[in-house]
Amino acid sequence: MVETLKGTGPSGFLEFGQNLLVVDYGKIYQDGTPVGFLHEDGLMQGLSEPLGVWQGLKTIEELPGCVFRGIDRRGLQLELPGSSSGPTGGLTYNKQSFNVIFGRIATQDHRILGFMTDEGELQFYDDRFNGTLRKMDEVSQLSTIFQGIKSNGQPWQLNYQRPLHRPDKSYWENEIIRYFEDFDRVTGPQKKYVCETMRLFACTGLLQVVRKQEGSAGLGNVRHGASGATGVRSGKVNLDRDEFEKEVGFYKQFGASMVVPRHKPLIEVRINLVVAHEYGHQLEFCLSQAAQGIISEAYEKRRKLCDQIHPLPDGYEGGAELVQPTQLDERVFVSGYARSSMNEYWAESVAAFAVPQSRILLAEVDPEMHELLVGIVKEPEKMLNFNLHESILTLQTSLRVGGELPENPLTI
């Protein structure tokens, strides 16, 4: 049985009574002879002397005085049983099932993810930062159900649900519903539009962090109601209802982007992602000064280039990039509207990045903005304001454990 286990356990030394046993990727040896297997979460199996013959699983705590010191699969120091103790039982975190063994939270295949206390406090390892432990709080903790016993043996149940969240919906759907206030009042296709175009930002925790900082979005009667159209900070987003309905229709019919005739014979590229666009304006206020500077510079560079290659035609009042139909591939901006100002350039880039179809376009037309946005999603601490770092990193750690945030968020 021991031989069939993959070498995924910890490495180091196991002290038991007078014996000092070697542990190599989980396999326990006495003088070169395998005598059992130790998992990272402190479960042992297939034991023989001197550990006592035992085929099933046993916790290290059940072998009095037994101590392991070494490293886990990440190469981080690991001591078992360790100084902390906590509950034992089954944990469901955002519908993902885990085991808790004396406070150690582990996957079904015995990888240790973090710790739980008898008070219900959770800490998870952040693998992006060398296994830094991040403590969950009311912002980051996902729905938590525990059933088992406390460290003193007392039976214990815990059921934590996020405030205002609907238990039948996933975290990301709930976040979109919280953000888009009129969600329950729009049609099925409109709901689908909002979900599809905001999912990436919801799953990565960026929607929640930005909503908390800037505010939510709602439908109103604001002609050209872009909150950022003037570059003036207003926090909450007001979307014009007619414009929203129009965009949903465009998206359904033409996809994320389309070409419209403007000032004949010229054409303009349009991105049909108004919710993500307005969200982009909010996100801009959450960026560090350095990040905003990079965007400004990139915009100025493109604007100059655009004025050279595609100068605005006489008699055209607007500020969008217009090109000859044959020049479509030589356009400078991902959409015509992106030319109007640095703020719109950014908001249009965020919008284009929101869904795979136009994300590819952005990568082709404006690789620099594409890369910047990849950075925001994967390494938000490099782009966001310093005061948001802790909340986004803790939240992303939680979302990874909760199965909301995939290893590569760009698969969303």
Interacting residues toward Zn ion by CB under 5 A:
226, 228, 344, 347
Residue type, 101: I
Cβ-based nearer residue to Zn ion, 86 or 280: 280
In the complex, the smallest distance separating the C-beta of residue 305 from Zn ion, rounded to whole angstroms, is 21
Cβ-based nearer residue to Zn ion, 239 or 383: 239
Say if residues 322 and 310 touch (Cβ distance below 8 Å). Answer: yes
For residue 105, report the phi and psi dihedrals to the nearest 5 degrees: -90, 125
Cβ-based nearer residue to Zn ion, 175 or 348: 348
Cβ neighbour number for residue 293 with a 10 Å cutoff: 11
Name the E strands within 49-203.
54-59, 67-71, 77-80, 88-93, 96-101, 104-106, 112-116, 122-126, 132-135, 144-149, 155-160
In the complex, the smallest distance separating the C-beta of residue 348 from Zn ion, rounded to whole angstroms, is 8
Residue type, 198: M
At 185, list the tokens: 């009042």
At 349, list the tokens: 């880039």
Cβ-based nearer residue to Zn ion, 126 or 240: 240
In the complex, the smallest distance separating the C-beta of residue 406 from Zn ion, rounded to whole angstroms, is 29
In the complex, the smallest distance separating the C-beta of residue 254 from Zn ion, rounded to whole angstroms, is 20
In the complex, the smallest distance separating the C-beta of residue 343 from Zn ion, rounded to whole angstroms, is 6
Say if residues 323 and 331 touch (Cβ distance below 8 Å). Answer: yes
Cβ-based nearer residue to Zn ion, 208 or 335: 335
At 318, list the tokens: 């607007």
Cβ-based nearer residue to Zn ion, 203 or 226: 226
At 41, list the tokens: 């979460």
Q: What's the CA gap between 371 and 293, in Å, rounded?
A: 15
In the complex, the smallest distance separating the C-beta of residue 412 from Zn ion, rounded to whole angstroms, is 23
364-374: string of b/e by CB count within 10 Å (b at 16+)? ebbeebbebbe
Cβ-based nearer residue to Zn ion, 267 or 275: 275
Cβ-based nearer residue to Zn ion, 66 or 219: 219
In the complex, the smallest distance separating the C-beta of residue 257 from Zn ion, rounded to whole angstroms, is 16
Cβ-based nearer residue to Zn ion, 199 or 277: 277
Residue nearest to Zn ion (CB): 226
For residue 286, report the phi and psi dihedrals to the nearest 5 degrees: -95, 0
Q: What's the CA gap between 235 and 210, in Å, rounded?
A: 10
Cβ-based nearer residue to Zn ion, 321 or 344: 344
As a whole number of Å, the CA-based R_g of the chain is 27
Cβ neighbour number for residue 99 with a 10 Å cutoff: 18
SS3 8: coil
In the complex, the smallest distance separating the C-beta of residue 298 from Zn ion, rounded to whole angstroms, is 17
Cα dihedral across residues 231, 233, 237, 240: positive or negative: negative
For residue 345, report the phi and psi dihedrals to the nearest 5 degrees: -55, -50
In the complex, the smallest distance separating the C-beta of residue 347 from Zn ion, rounded to whole angstroms, is 4
Cβ-based nearer residue to Zn ion, 240 or 344: 344
> Could you say which DSSP state residue 312 is in?
P
The angle formed by the CA atoms of residues 14, 17 and 20, to the nearest 5 degrees, is: 35
In the complex, the smallest distance separating the C-beta of residue 280 from Zn ion, rounded to whole angstroms, is 7
In the complex, the smallest distance separating the C-beta of residue 229 from Zn ion, rounded to whole angstroms, is 5
